Chains A and B, each alone.
Chain A
Amino acid sequence: MFDMLLQGAGLVASLSTLALVGAGLIIGLLVGALPGLGPLMGIILLLPYAITFPPVQAMGFLIAIYVGGSCGGAISAILLRIPGTPLAAATLFDGYPMAQNGRAADAIGIAISASALGGAFGGLILILFSPSLAAFAAGFGPPEYALLAITGLTAIAAVSDQSMLKGLIAGTAGLLLATAGTDEFTAAERFTFGLFELSDGFNIVAIVVGLFAISEMSNLLTGDDLLERPNLAIARPGFRTVMLVLTRWPNLLRSSTIGACVGALPGAGGVISSFTAYAVAKTFAKSEERYGEGAEGGIVASESANNATAGGALVPTLALGIPGDAATAVLIGVLLILGIFPGPTLFAQHSDIVGGIFLVYMLANIALFVVGILMTPLFVYVLRLRKVVLIPTVLLMCAIGTYAVGSSVFDLWVMFAFGLVGLVLRAGGYPLAPMVIGVILGPLLENNVRRTLLLSHDGLRIFVERPVSATLLFINVALLLCVAFFTLRRLFAERQSALVEEKA
């Protein structure tokens, strides 16, 4: 592990890497603070720029956006009572009352300090556990990998905040979309409809930008506040706020642990972890701490948890090549574009890059504290930006960014089409992240399923004959049963409430 970090230090110790991490943090905090954007959108929009750099610098830039974006939402939650990202929804409970009581600067300072400390804790988990997980996974064969890919997908569907069945449908549709292009085994072109541009399959950037960015912009357009400029006072937090967080170290440690553990589960993202940590902190709180009315501990819990989630989510991403959430799915996409394949082979063949990624993650969290505290007035100023300016700018960035990846106008139409698909799916209550993760995991799943069948001479018993694959199969079956159980329970509850309403 220390060798890995030492090798990585060589790649990180340059002015350009530090500048990129700093720039990524500022952008991340900005996109996090602006309602409607968020860390995923920041990563998507800046991806064409990032892929022009070597892997560690590119990942440093994007991870810094991820880290900054996970924290930035707290600023708008505290000042505007609108969480910039869903990750900051739990921060709103105590952050906004604190601001109303004239302690906006303290609330923002606590949010930034807790985010930085929680994120650093997530980084420690990443550094300590991902090499062991990768070493364990190095013994995996095609059956294990095939089932691992399915586990990633079912886990993501199982924790979808909307319907689990819809999550599974979206994920399976993503797997199907990934089959377009040239078949790796036979070199036959599939589902290309004679279009040369589809011979390499759909451009992942076009899919992600379309699904998330275009549909999100359309969503913003349904609001009536496009021309409004929020009237905000500038808040200037101080470095002493870190002491307010450190005095609540049991809460900080507990919430960060929850965040990192939840993050490591594929699909369970920062929203789940921040609400869980908040609920646990409230349970453990002393009676004089009035949660929901401006308790500092509430902000510490939600913010440390959601930033620790980022570190946790990177564990399966790097060690297994299984994304923890939509943002890490895009990070996997970036690594693939740069010719790096995440998973155990990455740890064996490119330990310097892994070490570099560990270090840039830690660096981003340390810098988050300094940059966040010093530049809060700038972020508050940007919060005054009107949506009428934001929406066309983001749309132009979507177009130019997607075009820049492959210099292809065809990709722009793919983006546009997936934007429409994203709109319909979002309106229908389908989560979009499983679809992206399905597209990312599709080739991994197909290659390993077919290799497994080659190994077993076309029989399926191989999946239950090997201990690890049998365990993974059991987990998958359990997850699918969970999906079935919760779908039926929700259905039953909906029917009951509808019947009660009808009777009333």
Chain B
Amino acid sequence: MTSSLVIGRRFAEWCSIAFMLVLVALVFEQIHDVLGPAGMAEGGPYDNAAAYPRGVALVLLGLVALQVIVQFVARRPENEDGLRLHQLTRPAVVIALFGLYLALLGVLGFHLASAPMLFAIMVACGSRQWWQMIVFSLAISFGMAWFFESQLDVVLPGGIFNLNIPW
């Protein structure tokens, strides 16, 4: 049953508005709790570090209010475009895997975390050619590590095992 649920444009529009409102709220909260007590929220244009962000936040609030009105006034056809829930499963899994990779990057280091991440994402994408996937994951992760470490002198995260290859 859940696979027929459609995540439409309108839902995403409200999520976007929520993000903008959170942004505005954070600005006012910081001005009230941090910049105000530090004496940075008043005075002339030189001293007042809060005036410009406050002004921009107010403009954003006004524009978002207009957008809310537009969304209420706008009529949309019943069969509006949207993605079915099952279509979002794969992107959600891949994003979760990518988030997990970023979390593990500092712990395991680039070399231990990257190849499994590539492999896992390919599995999530539906590939089942195991040997090809293993070779590809190792080749890409080590290839990129070689390029960035030996050619660009970037020290990639070594993790708790301090794994860095002296190319």
**B38 near A: Cβ within 8 Å?**
yes
- Contact residues of A between 408 and 456, Cβ < 8 Å to B: 409, 412-413, 416, 419-421, 423-425, 427-430, 446, 449-451, 453-454
Output the residue of B50, B102, B106 with the most chain A CB within 10 A.
Answer: B102
**A166 near B: Cβ within 8 Å?**
yes
User: Which residue of A175, A389, A498 is within 8 Å of B56 (Cβ)?
Assistant: A175
User: Which residue of B7, B23, B67 is within 8 Å of A166 (Cβ)?
Assistant: B67
B152 pairs with A409, CB closer than 8 A: no
A495 pairs with B75, CB closer than 8 A: yes
**B163 near A: Cβ within 8 Å?**
no
B154 pairs with A458, CB closer than 8 A: no
**A119 near B: Cβ within 8 Å?**
no
Chain B interface size, as a band, is 35 or more
Chain A residues near B144 (CB, 8 Å)?
396-397, 400
A222 pairs with B87, CB closer than 8 A: yes
Name the residue on B nearest A168 (C-beta). B63
Kindly provide the distance from the CB of B3 to the nearest chain A CB, expressed in whole angstroms: 14
* Interface 0/1 of B84-98, CB less than 8 Å to A: 000110110011001
A396 pairs with B19, CB closer than 8 A: no
Kindly provide the distance from the CB of A451 to the nearest chain B CB, expressed in whole angstroms: 8
**A173 near B: Cβ within 8 Å?**
yes
Q: If A221-B125, A222-B83, A416-B98 touch, does A396 touch B12 (CB 8 Å cutoff)?
A: no
Q: If A186-B47, A450-B45, A494-B74 touch, does A412 touch B56 (CB 8 Å cutoff)?
A: no
Chain B residues near A425 (CB, 8 Å)?
16, 19
Interface of A is mostly: helix
B157 pairs with A403, CB closer than 8 A: yes
User: Which residue of B26, B45, B57, B63 is within 8 Å of A169 (Cβ)?
Assistant: B63
B125 pairs with A498, CB closer than 8 A: no
Q: If A191-B53, A227-B125, A424-B12 touch, does A52 touch B91 (CB 8 Å cutoff)?
A: no
**A165 near B: Cβ within 8 Å?**
yes
Name the residue on A nearest B44 (C-beta). A458
Q: If A226-B125, A412-B105 touch, does A221 touch B9 (CB 8 Å cutoff)?
A: no
Residues of B within 8 A of A (CB): 7, 9, 12-17, 19-20, 23-24, 26-27, 30, 34-35, 38, 40, 44-47, 49-53, 56-57, 59-60, 63-64, 66-67, 70, 73-77, 83, 87-88, 90-91, 94-95, 98-99, 101-102, 105-106, 110, 114, 117-118, 121-122, 125-127, 136-137, 140-141, 144-145, 148, 152, 154-157
Write 16 A-B pairs (CB below 8 A) sorted by A numbering. A169-B63, A176-B23, A217-B94, A218-B95, A222-B91, A392-B117, A392-B125, A395-B94, A399-B105, A400-B110, A404-B154, A419-B95, A450-B45, A450-B51, A487-B70, A501-B77
> Considering the complex of A and B, which 9 residue pairs feature the smallest CB-CB distances, nearest first?
A498-B75, A427-B12, A428-B16, A453-B45, A428-B12, A392-B121, A183-B49, A221-B91, A218-B91
Please give 19 more A-B residue pairs, beta carbons under 8 A apart, in addition to A169-B20, A428-B12, A453-B44.
A165-B63, A166-B16, A176-B23, A221-B91, A222-B88, A227-B125, A395-B98, A399-B98, A399-B101, A399-B102, A400-B156, A404-B154, A409-B157, A412-B105, A423-B95, A424-B19, A425-B16, A427-B16, A449-B45
